[in-house]
Chain A
Amino acid sequence: MLRGFEVKTLAIIKLASCSGCLNQVVRALASEEKLLNFYNIVLFDEITERLEMPKKIDLLLIEGSTVTREQEEVVKKFREISDFVVAMGTCAVQGGVQALRIGDDVEKVKAYVYPNPEHIDVNKDVKPVDNVISVDMFIPGCPVNHEAIASLLKKFVSEGLPIAIPESVCSECKRKGIVCVMVAYGIPCLGPITIGGCGAICPSFGRGCYGCFGLKDFDLDNSKLKMFAQQLKDLGMDNDRFEQTVKAYSWKTWSKYQNVYHR
């Protein structure tokens, strides 16, 4: 069909999540007309009726974290038939905002929301995808950057992959020439401890980063985090709010730094 390239089978599945990253995939497909020629989309419930499932999937994108046994079975089944698995977005990578309930008694959580909690079948834990299966690549973001997805789709078809550059949001501000909101205006900003990839959106709007791409998993430890929390406190963000903000988008990395995460 296209000289030099084989058409790849692509499947996109959703677990506990909001579909925001799925829509970034749609945007990525919309941005590059030719991409659709390179992929045979075999499963993407939001966009297509279910067609016949192949025995093997070349590229599987997973949005969301698992909160039920059934979801765990589903991802295990898909892992077996997929060549390359990508955890896409903060829920899949870190757990997502739904992980804010971890540590609380799940029966109480259910009873708070549902009049008949006994009918609600959910796990005690909210699990990032790599807590259930092995994952070949992580693309963070709440939502993921559509350009990162377009880059993956373009490179994957030519047997390559994007190379992740480990850096913080600060690097993006520097490259874009955005004045540091923390240094210049005293606005609390999670940029220094947050993984880059968004393009420093929040500082470009004159506000502090709130860490939705997740905590850096390099160059940080608990004592550095504590020091940084103190800096933020001096600027008016109390420790409680800091912790709430970090946990909401970085549950996995946060709990690793706190030594409470066990895979």
Chain B
Amino acid sequence: MERVLTRVEGEGKVLVKVKEGNVIDVEIQITEAPRFFEYIVRGKHINNVVEIVSRVCGLCGVSYMLTATRAFEKCLKIDVPQEVEELRRIIHLAERVKSHVIHVFLLNLPDFLEMPNSFRLGAVNSAMLRNSMKLLTLAANIMDILGGRMHNVVNIKIGGVYKPPSESDAVKIVKLIKDAIELFKPLADFVLSLKNIPEEKLAKPLMILHGNGYPHVSDEIAFYNSENAEIFDVQNFENVLDVMQRHGKTALLYKYKGQSYIVGPFARFNTSYDKLHGEARDFVSSYGWKPPLKDVRQQIIARVAEILDSLLTLRDFFQNYKPFEIYSPRIEPGKADKLRCVAAVEAPRGILYHRYDIDEKLKVLHCNIITPTAQNILAMEELSQEKLRMLGRAAEHEAAKLTERIVRAFDPCISCSVHVLSSKY
């Protein structure tokens, strides 16, 4: 049986094969048309590339820009002052808020309310709908001040930002954040108090960017299978992953040491809960939610925690914010005729990895991007199969719907995953 995936970004389908009442296979099909990003950035100047890759994804463009700028800065040895780098990370956290708010309240919540969409909330709990829409507007307004607009922000460049917020901008942002936190807490209360969030054992090993704080930006990757972490450098990412292309299909699948794994809020929350903002941790744990989350369908809890964590981090940043001078380093071509530029960032959905080979004219020769969704697809399929096999014949009618819910819990970003496939080079 086949079901069109809805309330996800992009176009996909779930395909469930049933034989004599038993589920024998689950496949997530990407029906999104490819846009060939790895091809079109070739020959383009790196400044243009930063803007172009932002167009891969309408939900997490800042993640793309931040990953690309960091990759180019590292290989061209461009120093970014600490306050500039911090501001960029803050813009990126604002995107995490926006992306998660859309997923929690518009895409995921209807699953727990048995509604086709969140707009139906208007009839039964109009305040809930009104306030979640207001929260989205506030999140977008914060993006407007920091980046110029909600999507394809214009304030990130190789070497830093174009314009740091002014003192009066900071005052406005603090006000917006306080309003957002106030609106968010009762909404979060509703989500954290839901009684029907599944709690079975339904998970896989985890992978995060490993650093001092809550996973965000780092050059190290940690893989967790049970308690033990294996840590490796982001430069080795492509070497340690096994990549498979399913026969006749567009999507590539990733494994680490022969296993599927999970990236994103579920992995971050379960490995790094202690590093969440104290107030966010207290808030979530007061509802009894603590790591480890056992079931991937509990990811909504991790997203709620991350929204609050990010808002609080933004608040703290702007309460102590002092505007700084615009910093514009010269971008000098590298000495070698080919430079390898690699970086990774924790996008809203997990580890986003970019690799560019550039020439002495600062033009891209080759590009490879590994997206969070592409890494999660295999886990989504295997977990759906596991769940459906557990249910046996009882699953037959609900199989596609159950799979869709497991898939949706990951907040897949299909526009990203379709064309962003490992290139052969």
Contact = CB atoms under 8 A, between A and B. Distances in A.
B35 interface: yes
Contacts of B11: 14, 45
A244 B48 contact: yes
Contacts of B421: 113-114
B148 A201 contact: yes
Interface in B1-51: 4-11, 32-36, 38-40, 42, 44-45, 47-48, 51
A24 interface: yes
B130 to A, nearest CB: 6
A204 B147 CA distance: 11
A51 interface: yes
Contacts of B333: none
A216 interface: no
Contacts of B284: none
Interface residues of B, number: 65
Interface in B130-172: 130, 133-134, 136-137, 140, 148-152, 154-155, 157, 162-163
A100 interface: yes
A31 B119 contact: no
Nearest to B326: A206
Interface stretch (A15-23, A168-176, A255-263): A15-23
Interface string B187-200: 00000000000000
A33 B102 contact: no
A29 B40 contact: no
A18 B55 contact: yes
B58 A50 contact: no
A211 B412 CA distance: 30
Most B Cβ at <10 Å: residue of A113, A143, A204 = A113
B121 to A, nearest CB: 10
B152 to A, nearest CB: 6
B163 A30 contact: no
A201 B58 contact: no
A23 B102 contact: yes
A48 B102 contact: no
A146 B106 contact: no
A112 B249 CA distance: 16
B148 A98 contact: no
A248 interface: yes
A47 B132 CA distance: 14
A122 B33 contact: yes
A165 B52 CA distance: 28
Contacts of B136: 26-27, 30
A45 B163 contact: no
Contacts of B45: 240-241, 244
A49 B149 contact: no
B304 interface: no
A23 B103 CA distance: 11
Contacts of A26: 102, 106, 136
B59 interface: yes
A142 interface: yes
Contacts of A23: 58-59, 102, 150-151
B40 A101 contact: yes
B250 interface: yes
B42 to A, nearest CB: 8
B118 interface: yes
B137 A212 contact: no
B35 A97 contact: yes
Contact of A113 (B34, B44, B133): B34
Interface string A102-122: 001000011011111001101
B61 A113 contact: no
B397 interface: no
Contact of B48 (A15, A33, A71, A245): A245
A68 B33 contact: yes
B116 A49 contact: yes
B329 interface: no
A26 B39 CA distance: 31
Nearest to B101: A30
A50 B33 CA distance: 20
Most A Cβ at <10 Å: residue of B8, B36, B122 = B36
A48 B151 contact: no
A67 interface: yes
A48 B116 contact: yes
Given A45-B4, A48-B6, A48-B7, A19 B36 contact: no
Contacts of A96: 35, 55
Contacts of A115: 245, 424
Contact of A20 (B140, B152, B157): B152
Contacts of B134: 30
Contacts of A12: none
Most B Cβ at <10 Å: residue of A16, A26, A109 = A16
A119 B250 CA distance: 7
A22 B117 contact: no
Interface in A188-210: 198, 201-202, 204-207, 210
10 contacts: A18-B55, A19-B10, A27-B150, A30-B136, A36-B122, A101-B40, A109-B36, A112-B42, A146-B140, A248-B51
The 6 closest A-B pairs by CB, nearest first: A20-B58, A48-B117, A19-B58, A30-B133, A98-B35, A49-B116
Given A23-B58, A201-B148, 17 more contacts: A22-B58, A33-B130, A41-B117, A45-B4, A47-B7, A47-B118, A48-B117, A51-B116, A67-B34, A100-B40, A113-B36, A142-B152, A143-B149, A202-B154, A204-B148, A206-B162, A212-B51
